Structure 1
Amino acid sequence: MRTLNRRNLLKGSVAAACLTVPAVRAVGQTNSLSEIGKLLAPVPRARIFTARDIVTLDPSQPSAEAIAVVGTQILAVGALSEVQEMLGDQPFDVDERFADKVIVPGFISQHDHPVLAALSMSSEILSIEEWALPTGTVPAVTDKADFMKRLTAAVEARTTPGEPVVTWGYHPAFYGPLTRADLDGISTERPILVWGRSCHEMILNSAALTAGGVTQAAVEAFDAASQKQANLAEGHFWEQGLFAVLPHIASLVATPEQLRAGLELSRDFMHSKGITFGNEPGGILAKPVQDGVNAVFSSADMPFRWSFMVDAKSMVASYADDGEVIARSEALQSWYYGMTSLAPRQAKLFSDGAIYSQLMQVRAPYLDDHHGEWMMEKELFERAFRVYWDAGYQLHIHVNGDAGLDRVLETLETNMRRNPRFDHRTVIVHFAVSAFDQVERIKALGAIVSGNPYYVTALADQYSEVGLGAERADSMVRLGDLSRAGVRWSLHSDMPMAPADPLFLMWCAVNRVTTSGRVAAPEQAVSAEDALRGVTIEAAYSLQMEEEIGSLVRGKRANMTILAENPLEVDPMAIREIEVWGTVMEGRVLPVRSSDRAAATQQDASAGPREAVSPNGAPAFDKAALEHALKVTHAHHL
């Protein structure tokens, strides 16, 4: 690093801009140069980062070699000489640590679930794919016999009486049905809870049912829709049935200690993948649970900010008065502080079931004639849509099947005709199975899409034979059609539905390579630049934050991801192999490698601390309250 000092700040245009309007007026009313000096706001020292290449995603200046940062914002972008000239007499340092690296806009995690990621990643992972975590790599399950063997070993390794074993990642479409009887064959004394790969279903052994008080009478107390999505004899609960049983078993699924450890693991994983901003679309609607999340995610040492969206499903189910729904939604702002916040006037809704459990609603029958499920009953869905639409909210809607998408688009069109809104940016979230005619309708209605391209990689081969058939399975997440139609789209991982790894999401979208190595529906592939936009500026657009983050433009937050290679120039198959050096988040340099972290922390110490305590002074992590919430709340996957 080299330091350049400039004198006579009054000559610099940037310094002159530091005069406030009252100060300018006051200058004309005084003859004393010393008094004029006192009216000048102090000019902060800038830092100029240089790099082998800077991909700005600014159409007027796509590439640069230097970027100047003051505090948390970008001050200038361009050639080094141009940036220095723009700074004028403002003092600055030139930071050359990224001279052999590539800077891209900070990656945005548009749709991820911290609590679900925390609980799944800290459980016994027995999944369809390998998971490489900061704590080590967990190999994929090969078949049902392998699953049973590894689960049995995990159960036998427990020594504390009554301690439950929770495993995540089983997929019936890959390994065959799993029932209560299968799990009782491992143990009838220790509670075993198998959380499906979809996070939308769970299989319990008899000991877990007993520990949670899940009896026939308890199931009969569920509402009608939930009873249809529950099978006590097989210990199987899915979609709304899972929502209904969770209050009984939540304390078996999660402890405050496990939640905190899992959140820290998820935080470190996401930072290692270059994420600088993230969003939870519809978090668990329980204040003690959110306090537990805030204990980690609101902390001043968080390497990224995280926003949370209103859970519209729970709100409309809880309050009969439409005005109270909105008032309660806006009151949620008080739940967040420090590095967490409420996404302003945005809400999450559900249409149909999960892709991983093949419970999405589809137009043509499944190959085995099973049926999909609705996540919200039609009347409740339409009421929720209307209430939040009329209040001016942006709606993000979970939908996976083409019949589920029909319901969403019909409801959107009804409300557009009833109460026209423009730039509403209704987000079609997941976008698994769709039809070409629906792409044109999405465009006509002004909606946008947030797709998960990992579905193709992970599921297309298996779903070609089980459930969907080759044509529907291969054309999942038809991003190519969206681009040709002019529909704006972004990418998300839905962690833990896919790794929260933007480079990997880009790789999936660009290559569409399945687990067998073939390319599924190559006409739906997109360019590397469009995929990069999908995890940066388009993700920001989907969160109504494109004026703040997503590209490297003066005035935006200084959020950057530092890479070893340029993802727009490497072989498309090598995108996922690019090393992430770290991030710059609002001016803070945050290396991934521990060997670089201490030096960066010392250099950035002048940035000062961030607010990290609850505004009302209450403790950020109330274990007793959280334990109670885990037992009684209708916690659910969003």
Structure 2
Amino acid sequence: MKKWALAASIAAVACAAPAPKQDLAAGYDIVIYPAQAVVTMTGEDKTAEAVAVSADRIVAVGSLEELRRDLPSARVNPVFEDKTIVPGLIDPHIHVVLGSLQYNLPITPPWPMATPHGMKAGLPNRAAFLQALSELVEAAGPSEPIVAYGYHNLVHGDLHRADLDAIAPDQPLIVWHYSSHDFYLNSAAINAAGFTPDMAEQFHGVDLDADGALTGRIYEDAAMLVVQAFAGVILTPENVTAGFNGFSSMLRQAGVTTTAELGYGMFGWEMEAANIRANWGSPQQAGYHLYLIPEHRALERAFGDGKVQAVLDMASGNTDTAAPILPRVKFFTDGAFYSQTMRLSPPGYLSGQSEGSEGLWVAGPDGIVPAIQPYWDADLGVNIHSNGDAAQGATLEALAMLREGDDGPANSFVIEHGGLFSEEQVELAGQLGARLSAASHYVFYMANEYAGPLGDVRAKWISPLGALTEAGVPVAVHSDAPLAPPHPLRAAGVHVTRATREGSTYEAGMALSRYEAMEAITLDAAMALGLEAEIGSIATGKRADFTILGANPLDMPGAEWEHIPVWGVVLDGEPRPLKNKGSLQGE
């Protein structure tokens, strides 16, 4: 069994009691790290002066005097004595392969976007976006396909193939929506790919105009057709490697010790595994732990009726994997928040590119339980993409049905993103024991833009994290990088303030307290991955993963969290200072 497969399986050991100090430390040196503060995340009033580490485990937490008395053979390392030690920061939902692809493409974002190469200026309106596309075409070779990432319809306006034809009449031009769920192609790209209107009969996500012609928008189920058709540009190995290295740099600069790919297999098992092996390697090489959660449809395509056993074999280490597979599976209820394909209650979208529709189902109300049930019966955890309020209704109804059959420990069930709830759905999520891993950036980037398409009543319930916490739902926050930078302190800080990019505050009553926000990137983030027995707090027996900060976030306003200096991390008990103490943009 691989070392990291064994580590991943630890989460499945129920209620294992921490080993005694002497057992944990047997045969190893013990190092005591005093600090200005040790934020344990074991209770709001629980802080310490020092933590003792032996090999990759925490052996004691308390005052420096206590630790010296109880561990007389330990040595004291004062390297962190003027700093704050917090549990290793966790970004529980990224797309490492997708992000690697997109970070190395030309980027045309609707707002300033952090990238491995620094901040990319936002294009705040349609004219600026179309001008940027024109400049990309002028700079490119005369016939090579051009793929640009970052368009957003609510900022840049609707996009039709005719708009792209005016910029590139003879050269394939492909625009990738900021959400990653939609592509927009000019006529040359449509012809090069061999796309026809007949595709609409086979795939949901092929947009036709009133005359039955392709508009150029290819999205959701059909989006992978674009990736396949232009793999020579999108999947170029050297671009993926460069993007992966940049992505890793951003994670390290932000003090991340654990992250997870939420959708492993969607681009193909062999391609993703090869890139992870080549570019991530191991925690010791990369500087952070990477876990993988397989996606249900990818499992079904590859393994058919053997899909559940395939996950069990990967998670246990019986099948060799590029990184540890968690005993969990990713599902989808509906479409994307950003591209207005999340499923809404009537009357649906009031404006924008989905005006007049209610958005899209992926599994849909009748498909969720049949998809999950075989994995559920094998005691595997669930992470389910569910964005719109209609989607939350279907997802929670499915959870209620699954819970009816429970005759043992309840399976972990995590709603991913959770862009929109109703008041009643918030209460139901708490009653059913759901967990939430929320997209940290919907309020900051899009709340004001989305208020019109949603209408006043629904818009109040965009990412209602404070209400969910009050209802007893453990709430984590994630970046969904590259949609937002993989910077947990920034992600959590904006939910203390409920700040927007325009400088306003959105539904301040839905804010988190500072302690709740720290839970969202430590213990509750560990719960979203089923790893709370292993990481997420500083407690005896847990893995010695810490993030070392220049100040204590609990003593600072949320607006300042993203500016707290990161010294580096302690990973598996080993101090790892940042080699380049740049900003979160990787500068």
Scaled by the length of structure 1, what TM-score is found? 0.82
Unaligned runs of 5+ in 2: 1-18, 583-587
Instruction: Work out whether 1:591 is the aligned partner of 2:574.
Output: no
Question: 1:266-285 alignment to 2 at 5 Å?
Answer: 266-284=247-265, 285=268
Superposed CA offset, 1:313-338 (max 9, x none):
233456653xx221233344566557
Bigger relative CO (Cα 8 Å, ≥ 6 apart): 2
Question: Are 1:294 and 1:336, in contact at CA under 8 Å, matched by a contact in 2?
Answer: no
Query: Which string of whole-angstrom CA distances, capped at 9 and with x for unpartnered residues, describes residues 479-505 of structure 1?
Result: 111122122221111112222111111
* Aligned-partner Cα distance in 1 for 2:153–2:290: 33
Range that drifts further, 477-486 or 260-269: 477-486
User: Which range moves more in the overlay, 245-254 or 302-311?
Assistant: 245-254
**1:169 Cα shift?**
1.2
- Which residue matches 1:543? 529
8 Å CA contact 1:127, 1:140 repeated in 2: yes
Work out the CA distance in 2 between the residues paired with 1:61 and 1:461: 36
Residue of structure 2 equivalent to 1:132: 114
Aligned residue number for residue 486 of structure 2: 500
- The equivalent position to 1:461 in structure 2, one of 431, 448, 451, is 448
Quote the residue 1:179 is aligned against.
Answer: 160
Given that 1:171 and 1:196 are in contact with CA atoms closer than 8 Å, whether structure 2 keeps it comes out as yes
The letter for the 2-side match of 1:183 is L
Counterpart of 1:544, as a letter, is: G
Q: Does 1:70 align with 2:54?
A: yes
User: Which residue of 1 is the match for residue 371 of structure 2?
Assistant: 384
Q: One-letter code of the match for 2:148?
A: T
Seen in structure 2, the aligned counterparts of structure 1 residues 328 and 378 have a Cα distance that, compared at 3 Å, is farther
Q: 1:141 aligned to 116, 120, 123, which one?
A: 123
TM-score scaled by structure 2?
Answer: 0.88
Deviates more, 1:427-436 or 1:184-193: 184-193
Q: Say if 2:183 and 2:226, in contact at 8 Å, map to a contact too.
A: no
Q: Does the alignment pair 1:223 with 2:202? A: yes
Q: How many residues align?
A: 552
2:54 is the counterpart of 1:79: no
Q: Deviations over 1:351-403 (max 9, x none)?
A: 01100011111113221323301123555433211221222111111011111
1:53 is the counterpart of 2:37: yes
Quick one: which amino acid aligns to residue 447 of structure 1? A
Distance 1:296 1:514, change over 3 A: same
1:197-245 CA distance string (max 9 Å, x none) = 111001112332333333445x26x625345689862211111121344
Is this contact kept in 2: 1:54–1:102, CA < 8 A? yes
Aligned partner (choices 332, 350, 373) of residue 367 of structure 1: 350
Structure 1 residues 537-546 or 348-357, which shifts more?
537-546
Q: Which has the larger radius of gyration?
A: 1
CA RMSD in angstroms, aligned pairs only: 2.5
CA deviations over 1:511-558 (Å, ceiling 9, x no partner): 111122222111111101100001001111121211110111121111
Q: Aligned AA for 1:425?
A: S
Q: State the AA in 1 paired with 2:232.
A: S
2:53 touches 2:573 (CA, 8 Å); kept in 1? yes
Letter in 1 for 2:571: M
Task: Show the counterpart of 1:525.
Answer: 511
State whether residues 229 and 239 of structure 1, in contact with CA within 8 Å, keep that contact through their aligned partners in structure 2.
Answer: no
Name the SS of the counterpart of 1:518 in structure 2: coil
The correspondence of residues 188-199 of structure 1 with structure 2, limited to 5 A, is 188-199=169-180
Distance 2:499 2:21 in 1: 53
SS in 1 for 2:264: coil
- Any unmatched runs of 5+ in structure 1? 1-12, 20-40, 597-638
Q: How far apart, in 1, do the equivalents of 2:538 and 2:213 lie?
A: 54
CA contact (8 A) 1:313 1:350 kept: no
Q: Deviations over 1:151-197 (max 9, x none)?
A: 222222224x5433221111101111112222222223432221101
C-alpha contact 2:493 2:561 (8 A) present in aligned 1:
yes
Name the counterpart of 1:484: 470
Alignment partner of 2:246 out of 265, 270, 277: 265
Q: Distance in 2 between matches of 1:100 and 1:162?
A: 58
1:446 corresponds in structure 2 to 433
CA distance in 1, matches of 2:263, 2:42: 31
CA contact (8 A) 2:56 2:573 kept: yes
**Partner of residue 285, structure 2:** 301
* 1:513 matches 2:499: yes
Q: What do the CA deviations read for 1:411-467 (whole angstroms, capped 9, x no partner)?
A: 1222222455543221111111110101121122221111123101111111112x1
AA of the residue aligned to 1:283: Y
- The structure 1 residue matched to 2:96, chosen from 90, 111, 114, is 114
Structure 1 residues 79 and 135: alpha-carbon distance in aligned structure 2, compared to 1, 3 A threshold: same
Q: Closer, same or farther in 2 for the Cα pair 1:194/1:123, shift >3 Å?
A: same
CA contact (8 A) 2:21 2:60 kept: no
Q: Compute the displacement of 1:72 (Å).
A: 1.1
